[in-house]
Amino acid sequence: MLSKKSQFEFYMENTNPKFDIALLALKGKRYAEAEEIYLKIATEENSAEAWVGLGFCKLNQLAEGRSMDEVSFCLKKAIKIEPNLQHQIESQFIGHCVVLLSAYSLVFDAAIKKDRALKKKAAIGAIVSAVSVYSGLNSKSAFGTIASIAGASAGIGIAIDSLGKIQSVSEFKTYLISVCNSIHNEVKAFVSPSHDKIIEYDNFIKQYINCIQFKAKLNVPIENDDLMRMSYLSNNITMISFKDFKENEAKKKELSALRSKYEIDALEGGKLTVQFKKTPLH
């Protein structure tokens, strides 16, 4: 299974104190400062570790105008300096892209959740002005860092401030799929086709895009792993089962628990089941 833990172990092991300073800048979301430090080390010391750090620092800032071309350029420089580290760098690239996309997915879920809340208020007569679905999402938000994702021990943040300009879930969906495709194309061009994680990564991307499209269509803020599990359960539960009664009842209980987790009522749950059967995600 592709890891969602931090992918900074490679250059965190370096004993150069400048790397510690750069890492602290990243944790403090001072990206320009971190980039400057990594660039200085990379150019002055011809350091592969610094080029990797610079590349991932840029990857964290895709929402702020950095490009995947910049990211791959830095990683290629690192491999040119240390060819024996190619597989390790490729693995980190795959892993960090998974972390990044998972972080964006959490922000997307937060956007849908807020959008649903605003629509609910409007439905009961509350006065709602035209606001961005991110009006309450700032650097102190639970969604402002990837530190909490799957035990990402290094606590590296991602830049999402510019996402506040997005005004709808539909617009965010379009943006997110575009970013996902850009990342995927660069990974496929950069990573060796024989890499042991590339097939698993391809499957992750397909499921990721399907989940984003599904959530946008039905306006449900369900985490991707739970969404795919709900899809599986919805397609493998029978109304009446005598042969595998206990197993079937256990699946029903699990599906009910997942619906409760996301406050999905019976009517919405029925709509989800219909859609899952029409377009399975698992």
pLDDT at 127: 36
pLDDT at 131: 33
Print the SS3 string covering the chain: CCCCCCCCHHHHCCCCHHHHHHHHHHHCCCHHHHHHHHHHHHHHHCCHHHHHHHHHHHHCCHHHCCCHHHHHHHHHHHHHHCHHHHHHHHHHHHHHHHHHHHHHHHHHHHHHHHHHHHHHHHHCCCCCCCCCCCCCCCCCCCCCCCCCCCCCCCCCCCCCHHHHHCCCHHHHHHHHHHHHHHHHHHHHHHCCCCCCCHHHHHHHHHHHHHHHHHHHHHCCCCCHHHHHHHHHHHHHCCCCCCCCHHHHHHHHHHHHHHHHHCCCCHHHHHHHHHHHHHCCCC
**Mean pLDDT of all residues in 95-106:** 90
Work out the pLDDT band at 241, boundaries 50, 70, 90. low
**Mean pLDDT of all residues in 210-238:** 93
**Mean pLDDT of all residues in 206-212:** 94
pLDDT at 129: 35
**Mean pLDDT of all residues in 181-188:** 96
Domain ranges of the chain: 9-221, 222-282
pLDDT at 90: 94
pLDDT at 25: 87
pLDDT digits (tens, 9 = 90+) for 79-93: 999 999 999 999 999
Res 136 pLDDT > 90: no
Work out the pLDDT band at 159, boundaries 50, 70, 90. confident
Contacts of 212 (CB under 8 A, 6+ apart): 105, 108, 173, 176, 177, 180
Lowest mean pLDDT among 77-91, 97-111, 151-165: 151-165
Work out the pLDDT band at 68, boundaries 50, 70, 90. very high
pLDDT at 128: 35
Instruction: Look over the chain and give the mean of its residue pLDDT values, rounded to a whole number.
Output: 80
